[in-house]
Structure 1
Amino acid sequence: MSENSKPSRRQFISDTSRFVAGVGLSGILSTPFTSTAKPSVSANDKVLVGLIGCRSMGFGDLENALRIPGVECVGLCDVDATILDKRAEDVKALQGKAPKKFPDFRKLLELRDLDAVIIGTPDHWHCLPFVYACQAGKDVYVEKPLANSIAECEVMVRAARRYNRVVQVGQQQRSGDHWKKALDFIKSGNIGKLRKINVWGNFNYGIGQKKVPDSAVPEGVDFDMWLGPAPQRSFNAARFHGSWRMFWDYGGGLLTDWGVHLLDMALWATDTTTLPISVSAAGGNWAFPDYDHETFDTMSVIYQMKDHVITWEHTAGTENGPYGRRYGIAYVGDFATLVIDRSGWEVFPESADGAYKVPAIPPQPGRDYHREHMQNFIECIRSRKDPDCTIENGRLVALYAHMGNIALRSGTQLKWNEANGNFGDNKAANGYIRPDYRKPWTFPTV
């Protein structure tokens, strides 16, 4: 075949899409496309994206993508028709062209020319769309935590690597300059031997919403689809928009929300790629009885590492914290303690014999890095390089967070067996590794 007679990337995908449309989504999943069946996105091609889960963080991620030249949104998916219609209008205002709308993410994945999807659903809906997207040859930006269970995280890693997809997990500190500078400062030995990393996050929203009785499903909401693989139950507004993450079927509370962001930075300080030696936890639900939540409002977790300790603390319903910060990380070394959050970092030197052990460092400014994180994802779609927060990074810190919750829920100290993928003979803890999917949904296999 001559160079001039070779099909263009768009023509190739167009032909492929007609085949996909003919066999339906079940055909995609039973005989998935691999990355070799889809040409890479060139520097001159538009990157065409879709969004699954349009209400909050997902749409913020999409807005950041649409600020990047050469990115276009071709489809939106949400189970709430009101939100779906509103976001379609928002996208049209941003790019001058309306996206297609879908109540079912599987139909979105059949869109012609779709390069990547953003998954901004509740946590219990991360795994299935992610695996299906990888099988369909789409790259994925998935919000944190990677998934709502350990087993789901594991199958998502396998899917990403088997189908050779570019995956960015929404832990945007990995793309942040002030985080990198602070961690380089620590890694260079400037605070001495790192002995303890204290992580905390105190937020009012962690207690959920006030208790209300079950009620009718709001008009335009496909609640059965919203539940998806989670157990069947009646609709309750306190378990829905804005507070679903405070219920175990859908999320893991503050530890899998803010904890994932901050514990990721605790692990990055020592370039940790393994799970802790042991995990212990204490706490409970002791406050705000008029507010509806299952996840813990009061919690302390200890991660035993080889040569240091990592701790997590939260008291939901309060917003005071160490060093005057409602959330943050304190890296405690022999010479100094470095404290950081999204607003910046500072160093508190230790003193001896009337003098500081290391020079004092004035507060260094910081900010959020959502835009840079999305920019990195789009660049990696083109280059096929690993992005700033790989799926392995996302899996590791999600497991740290899930293990903290499992330790308290099971009332046991956890020791992970990496070879067997469980907690050894700890039956109570092992029961939390994999969720039971509600029919007709089935746990994905890769």
Structure 2
Amino acid sequence: MNDRRSFLKQSSLIAGGLWLSPSLLQARQKISPNEQIRVALIGANNMGFGILRHHLALPEVECVAICDVDQNVLDKRIKEVEEATGKKPERYTDFRKLLEKKDLDAVIIGTPDHWHCLIAVAACQAGKDVYVEKPMANSIGECDLMTQAAANYGRIMQVGQQQRAGQAFIESREFVKSGHLGKIRKVNIWSNFNYGLGNEVKPATPTPQGVDYDFWLGPAPKRDFNPNRFHGSWRHFWDYGGGLMSDWGVHLLDMAIWVEENPAAPSTVLTYAKNVNKENRDRDTFDTMNVLFPKKDFLINYDMNGGLQSGPYNKPYGIAYVGELGTLVVNRSGYEIYPEWDGTAKAAKCEVKKLEGTTESHNLHVANFVDCIKTRNQPSCPPEAGRLAALHAHIPNIAARIGAEQLIWDDAKRQFIGNNEANKLILPEYREPWTLPKL
């Protein structure tokens, strides 16, 4: 009878559209309380909930709380988790109250970028480990604060640059590091996506029922509600995000930094930025950017085109490691090596390699984080890696905002050389009563 009740319960969960298999539900029941990893989600509308689902696909992880300022999102997500796991997470609308929970090991931060720093630092101070979506934060200085907080409080912090867990990118890095492509001259990166144009202009509207919009704005400037600045499209405005550059740019630039001999901050950064498509678009950020990062090991060349969908090698986005012996082109679907031709030997200069059919690696990145919670080992994308990738996105955005073709960054001093206007954008001004975290 017990087996039948268990089967019926599991069947009803799956019939309800949930995402935990009967075998996983059975495995979860066998985990002792001492082995459980108790997580909470802060910011549950989109990517944050996707990351929570990957956490809950691990039998030792339990969701004990969800926090959001949109009651509609909060109701939906609590219901989904309860139906999937049989346990109802506690409900919070203020992350500070959530962080007071004693029976909590880690938090997932899936909020807009302008909230990452405040929540992550508070979580570290409360003794919680942190999985924070990329980019690490919405400014250079906030990334520094988060890096310091993780170190000061001995917390595990995984930044959501999940390509570090992807087979295609891991193998590509191995080809580069092993010398298979010869000396790397440059790394070409491109990202062409329609959504980079931003939404068409819309009028301000009343705040949707159930939304605490003032709390959603938090430290960002006070503004009337506009749907273009809310769910799904907030990243096109400097108050909350950095556009296509800090969304896809961080992921792809991270893969260039990852193959450096000693991953480092950029020094000289050359930027071209323009809004080419101006037809009824509502955005602060740019649809067209080209950025050059002359690094010690090679040149990084980043090419971004919002509103376009095609690109080199018939890929809308990708990375090309250009070596003396061949070029390796990779994106999340796989990679291929295009060898240079040796006219004298009448042969390819390196062996052709190809991988197809790879998929997203969020699940592996999450599994790495959970393992590091238990072992206290450094995760695959620790705070410093998140900081470096964010720097490579924020510096061009700052240059574009102030109209500077070149900026020189001194990473030791954490400031730009000879440009006070750029230095003013290293840290945001928080709206009262919110203040920058103090460590």
TM-score when normalising by structure 1 = 0.89
What does residue range 14-163 of structure 1 map to in structure 2 within 5 Å? 44-163=34-153
CA contact (8 A) 2:236 2:284 kept: yes
Deviations 1:262-281 (A, max 9, x none): 11111111244211230010
* 2:388 maps to which of 390, 396, 416: 396
- Amino acid in the other structure paired with 2:249: G
Shift of 1:47: 0.6
- Amino acid in the other structure paired with 1:296: F
Q: Distance in 1 between matches of 2:297 and 2:151?
A: 31
Q: Distance in 1 between matches of 2:227 and 2:112?
A: 15
Shift of 1:147: 0.1
Q: Distance in 2 between matches of 1:324 and 1:145?
A: 27
Q: 1:422 maps to which residue?
A: 415
Q: 1:352 maps to which residue?
A: 342
CA contact (8 A) 1:277 1:306 kept: no
Q: Distance in 2 between matches of 1:278 and 1:250?
A: 26
Deviations 1:143-170 (A, max 9, x none): 0000000010001111000000011110
Shift of 1:43: 9.5
Shift of 1:365: 4.1
Q: 1:36 maps to which residue?
A: none
What does residue range 195-214 of structure 1 map to in structure 2 within 5 Å? 195-214=185-204
Q: Distance in 2 between matches of 1:127 and 1:276?
A: 22
Q: Distance in 2 between matches of 1:83 and 1:419?
A: 42
SS at match of 1:126: helix
Q: Distance in 2 between matches of 1:396 and 1:85?
A: 37
Q: Distance in 1 between matches of 2:80 and 2:351?
A: 50
Q: Distance in 2 between matches of 1:277 and 1:433?
A: 15
Deviations 1:29-80 (A, max 9, x none): xxxxxxxxxxxxx994211100000000000000000010111101000010
Unmatched 5+ stretches in structure 2: 1-31
* 1:320 maps to which of 307, 310, 321: 310
Q: Distance in 2 between matches of 1:87 and 1:139?
A: 22
Does residue 304 in structure 1 map to residue 298 in structure 2?
no
Q: Distance in 2 between matches of 1:264 and 1:272?
A: 13
Does residue 439 in structure 1 map to residue 432 in structure 2?
yes
Deviations 1:171-224 (A, max 9, x none): 111112221111101111111110000111111111121111111100000000
- Amino acid in the other structure paired with 2:435: T
Shift of 1:312: 1.0
Deviations 1:118-160 (A, max 9, x none): 0000000101010100000000000000000001000111100
SS at match of 2:59: coil
Shift of 1:307: 3.6
Q: Distance in 2 between matches of 1:316 and 1:416?
A: 27
What does residue range 198-277 of structure 1 map to in structure 2 within 5 Å? 198-277=188-267
Q: Distance in 1 between matches of 2:184 and 2:33?
A: 43
Q: Distance in 2 between matches of 1:292 and 1:74?
A: 38
CA contact (8 A) 2:189 2:300 kept: yes
Q: Distance in 1 between matches of 2:58 and 2:278?
A: 43
Q: Distance in 2 between matches of 1:204 and 1:288?
A: 14
Of residues 390-399 and 359-368 in structure 1, the stretch that sits farther from structure 2 once superposed is: 359-368
Distance 1:407 1:110, change over 3 A: same
Deviations 1:407-436 (A, max 9, x none): 222222111112321002211211210100
SS at match of 1:296: coil
Q: Distance in 1 between matches of 2:417 and 2:349?
A: 44
Unmatched 5+ stretches in structure 1: 1-41
CA contact (8 A) 1:178 1:365 kept: no
Of residues 105-114 and 408-417 in structure 1, the stretch that sits farther from structure 2 once superposed is: 408-417
SS at match of 1:415: strand
Q: Distance in 1 between matches of 2:304 and 2:90?
A: 41
Distance 1:443 1:362, change over 3 A: closer
Of residues 403-412 and 249-258 in structure 1, the stretch that sits farther from structure 2 once superposed is: 403-412
Give the total of aligned pairs: 406
Q: 1:181 maps to which residue?
A: 171
- Amino acid in the other structure paired with 1:349: P
Q: 1:335 maps to which residue?
A: 325
Q: Distance in 2 between matches of 1:401 and 1:255?
A: 6
Q: Distance in 2 between matches of 1:286 and 1:423?
A: 28
Q: 2:285 maps to which residue?
A: 295
Q: 1:37 maps to which residue?
A: none
Distance 1:43 1:267, change over 3 A: farther
- Amino acid in the other structure paired with 1:402: H
- Amino acid in the other structure paired with 1:71: V
Q: Distance in 2 between matches of 1:92 and 1:238?
A: 31
Of residues 266-275 and 89-98 in structure 1, the stretch that sits farther from structure 2 once superposed is: 266-275
- Amino acid in the other structure paired with 2:438: T
- Amino acid in the other structure paired with 2:68: D
Shift of 1:388: 0.8
CA contact (8 A) 1:54 1:121 kept: yes
Q: 1:376 maps to which residue?
A: 368
Does residue 361 in structure 1 map to residue 345 in structure 2?
no
Q: Distance in 2 between matches of 1:150 and 1:252?
A: 12
Deviations 1:286-329 (A, max 9, x none): 20421211110011010011241101111101111110111110
What percentage of aligned pairs have identical amino acids?
53
Q: 2:158 maps to which residue?
A: 168
